Amino acid sequence: MKMYKVIVVEDDRIIRRGICQSIKWNEHGFIVAGEAGDGEMALGLIEKEQPQVVISDINMPFMDGLEMGKKIREISPETRIIFLTGFEDFKYAHQAVKLKAYDYLLKPVDSDQLLSKAKEAAADWEQETKKEKRIIESLPYLQQKFFQELMKEGVQRMDVEKELAELGVELEGPEFAAVLVHSPIGFQDECKRKLTEVASSFFLQSDFIVMNIDPNEYAILLSLEGENDVRKGQMAQELFHSYNVLEHSVTITLGRTYPNLFELGKSLLESRLAMDLRHIMGTGRIFSFEDTVSSKEETEDRLKELESELEIQIKLGIPEKVRETLNQLNKAILEKKSVPLTDLKILALKFSTMLFFEVEKWKKEEINSFNSSDVYQDIIKMETLSKMIEILNRLIQQWCDEMYKKEDKNHFSHVDQAIMYIKDHFHDSTLTLKKVAEFIHVSTPYLSNLFKLEKGFNFGDFLLELRMKKAMEELREGDRKTYEVCEKVGYNNPQYFSICFKKFTGYTPAEYKKQFK
């Protein structure tokens, strides 16, 4: 049985020894190759042992897990890191996303769960290692190197014409363009043949070349003349149709057409930039570089404003408004078209963490069916904006379901309970929003916002209208003095009552009484 190396890094000696000794690592294909109390001590071990898996606390003295993670990427880049930390430390998870940590588990961690994640990490390492070996053995190395250098240096520093000549690329022109084809599951032999076959049906063999970028992506470099620029789009459409017939979803991006061979690099970069925005533009479709240029100048301020609104609405406990604002954020990102995928993952992690917290508040007395680690994995693997919206909407729906379960048991929402209380106590001159909030066991700001968002009016307006209508009834139906009505509807100052009454009805109490005599 193949044995994988694991190193445990934890500043709490008891927890560290517990992880090392309570789990029967050897029986499950692991060797504990070392342990350390902080990141600084661990680095020497990791560089020497090159472990497949590192299990590390994030918050440690001297050198914390995140700083250690950055250095691991340099000395042992293939090592999978599983971070451990408390639920409230979102800022660590935020940075863990950037470090591409394999997983992020919340303390206290169950031994079986930790072992399971270590197995998954080792299996992922094994799969990735085999994949990289196949790539090195099978892909045309020079083609890959060319694209890597182009993306790194850009057309300004690279002599594209010279580099292409060294690769044996001879395109006559007079115009040139590039098309990228991306498949999320990689290109099988049948798919590769189909790509060349389709290109051949539109262009002469001397007018195009198919170049391998990586297992998931190919570039088609085109020599164009006259009407051939139109045929570039037609070829893309036929490619798209052909791959769908083969039940392979592909994304195809088109760079612009240029009059010089050395400018072909610009078209390649444009198709690359467009492809890198497929998480926003959508996968499984065709689009050009021009399509990715925002038609509206959606400012950073607007996105930040929507993010702030989401935070406030989640904290206020209003899932319907959260869903509405999330849809607005989705539209704003689509219009901006330039939000990196990493930033989307950070947003998803931030708001999923907040939503988890809200759901937990409504599930106090129930068994927790959530697995935050699974959602975290979904976020790490997500490739599109639509997937982010799907993940967050799923959590919002869970929140709604749990909230309304509780509300069904209580029969009334918080605002309904507040209104019932106010109707029963409006005659109390000391009645305040704070007193009502305390009665139904919520915070004053929370109840204030709920009134406005759920009913469309605020507490003060509702109480004033209720008291004035009751005062109007009393003045119409009885022969009571103004000061008596004033006290009966919750005012202890007759002058202030008269001012409020005239403002509400347009009449003083005395004038109003006369109309019904």
Q: What span, in angstroms and rounded, lies between the C-alpha atoms of 446 and 314?
A: 11
Q: pTM higher than 0.85, yes or no?
A: no
Mean pLDDT within 359-388 = 72
Specify the 3-state DSSP secondary structure of 139.
Answer: coil
For domain 4-136, the CATH superfamily is Response regulator (3.40.50.2300)
Paired strand residues for 224: 175
pLDDT for the residue 517: 62
273-300 pLDDT tens trace: 888 888 888 888 889 888 876 655 555 7
CB 101: neighbour CB atoms within 10 A?
A: 25
pLDDT for the residue 62: 83
Hey, where are the domains in the chain? 4-136, 141-292, 300-407, 414-514
pLDDT band at 410 (very low <50, low <70, confident <90, very high): very low
Q: How far is CA 35 from CA 14, 54, 59, in A?
A: 12, 10, 16
pLDDT for the residue 409: 45
pLDDT for the residue 45: 92
Q: What span, in angstroms and rounded, lies between the C-alpha atoms of 124 and 120?
A: 6
Least trusted range by pLDDT, from 71-75, 282-286, 404-408, 450-454:
404-408
**Cis? peptide before 108, omega within 30° of 0:** yes
86-130 pLDDT tens trace: 756 656 665 665 566 778 788 888 899 999 999 999 999 988 887
pLDDT band at 363 (very low <50, low <70, confident <90, very high): low
pLDDT for the residue 33: 93
Kindly give, in sequence order, each residue whose CB lies less than 8 Å from that of residue 337, ignoring residues fewer than 6 positions away: 277, 280, 281, 292, 293, 294
Question: Which residue, among 264, 241, 256, 129, has the nearest Cα to 195 in the 3D structure?
Answer: 241
User: Does residue 38 contact residue 62 with C-beta atoms inside 8 Å?
Assistant: yes
When the pLDDT of each residue in the chain is averaged and rounded to a whole number, the result is 81
148/392: higher pLDDT:
392
Mean pLDDT within 346-353 = 85
146/17: higher pLDDT:
17
Question: Which residue, among 57, 63, 59, 61, has the nearest Cα to 40 in the 3D structure?
Answer: 63
31/216: higher pLDDT:
31
422-460 pLDDT tens trace: 999 998 989 999 998 888 877 888 788 878 777 777 888
Q: At 439, list the tokens.
A: 């009665």
* Residue type at 70 in one-letter notation: K
475-502 pLDDT tens trace: 887 678 888 899 999 998 999 999 999 8
Q: How far is CA 359 from CA 89, 314, 417, 457, in A?
A: 18, 10, 21, 27
pLDDT for the residue 8: 94
- What is the number of helices (H) and of strands (E) in the chain? 23, 10
pLDDT at 149 exceeding the cut of 50: yes
pLDDT for the residue 377: 80
Q: What span, in angstroms and rounded, lies between the C-alpha atoms of 296 and 349?
A: 27
138/450: higher pLDDT:
450
Which span out of 113-122, 338-347, 507-516 was modeled with the highest average pLDDT? 113-122
Paired strand residues for 258: 176
pLDDT for the residue 486: 93
pLDDT for the residue 315: 77
pLDDT at 135 exceeding the cut of 70: no
Question: Which residue, among 509, 446, 435, has the nearest Cα to 472 in the 3D structure?
Answer: 509
pLDDT band at 411 (very low <50, low <70, confident <90, very high): very low
Paired strand residues for 222: 177, 208
Q: What span, in angstroms and rounded, lies between the C-alpha atoms of 327 and 416?
A: 28
Q: What span, in angstroms and rounded, lies between the C-alpha atoms of 511 and 504?
A: 13
What CATH class does 414-514 carry?
mainly alpha
| CATH tag, 141-292 | 3.30.70.270
pLDDT for the residue 160: 76
User: Does residue 241 contact residue 286 with C-beta atoms inside 8 Å?
Assistant: no
Mean pLDDT within 393-397 = 89
Q: What span, in angstroms and rounded, lies between the C-alpha atoms of 207 and 224?
A: 7
User: Does residue 252 contact residue 180 with C-beta atoms inside 8 Å?
Assistant: yes
pLDDT at 345 exceeding the cut of 60: yes
pLDDT for the residue 197: 86
186-241 pLDDT tens trace: 766 666 777 888 888 888 887 888 887 877 888 888 888 866 667 788 888 888 88
